Amino acid sequence: MIVQDIMNTAVKTANADTLIKDIASIMCFNKISGMPVVDSNEKLIGVLSEKDILKAMFPDVEQIMQEGAKTDFESIEADYKGLLDKKAEDFMTQTVASVSADMPLLKAASLMCVKKIRRIPVTDSSNKLVGIISIGDVHKAIFQDSLLKSNSSDEAA
């Protein structure tokens, strides 16, 4: 199998200037944990995940050193509203791994495992976004393929 066999081409995307509140809404309503960020030509320029947004709320090391165990995480959480008017470019990961549609599926999965990421954009030779796959998509496809092969060999016997 290759990436193209399982990739999702109906990808929810953001632009660099998309507000975090709009991105968070899309993520929540579509039950996705991240999305590619593209320019006006649909070229991949970054990825924004829930983790990227939440990391922006974490206290920095200096704050923790000063406050120690007294760090008020509840008040930090209350400051989430302050992030909502920021833009994707403020928190997105700019160095993004991607795969090609003709890449073997397990090679793409191994890249996700090595990079410790759960989803990876699929791009063409000009870095234009053409799809996305998740580690769950890969597992499901391999499992279903294995079941089909198992069932067809059982029927042949």
Nearest CA to 38 out of 13, 8, 11, 7 is that of: 13
Return the CATH number of 3-156, one of 3.10.580.10, 3.30.2010.10, 3.40.50.970, 3.40.47.10.
3.10.580.10
Whole-model pTM?
Answer: 0.80
Q: Where are the domains of the chain?
A: 3-156
Q: CA 81, 87, 88, 90 torsion: positive or negative?
A: negative
* CA–CA separation, 156 and 46 (whole Å): 48
Q: How far apart are CA 14 and CA 52, in angstroms?
A: 14
d(CA 46, CA 69): 35
Which structure tokens are listed for 123? 């791009």
Q: Of all residues in the chain, what percent carry a pLDDT higher than 90?
A: 66
pLDDT digits (tens, 9 = 90+) for 14-65: 999 999 999 999 999 999 999 999 999 999 999 999 888 888 766 555 655 5
